[in-house]
Amino acid sequence: MKKYWWLLLALVPVTLYVCTLKPKKKEDKSRAKVSPVGRFVASERSSKFHRPECRYAKNIKEEIWFDSVEEGRRAGYVSCEHCKPA
């Protein structure tokens, strides 16, 4: 046992750290196809707006909604090349 005292000292902090970690929450990937808030969605961190069913729109966390393409363009956003909302 005297040989392995250093192993015990190394494992105790690691074990305490692992025990205090919180499990990650799974993100809800389901999203309604049509939002009552608007017809097009954009991110506060991006310069593009998308249709709600676009694969890139499903990753947006900080949403900005627009009722029309013109409204999105007036706000300084450009349309997504993938879903082509305009």
**7-31: pLDDT as tens digits:** 666 666 656 565 666 666 554 443 3
HSE-up (13 A, CA, CB side) for residue 79: 13
- What pTM was computed for the model? 0.57
pLDDT at 68 over 80: yes
Domain ranges of the chain: 33-80
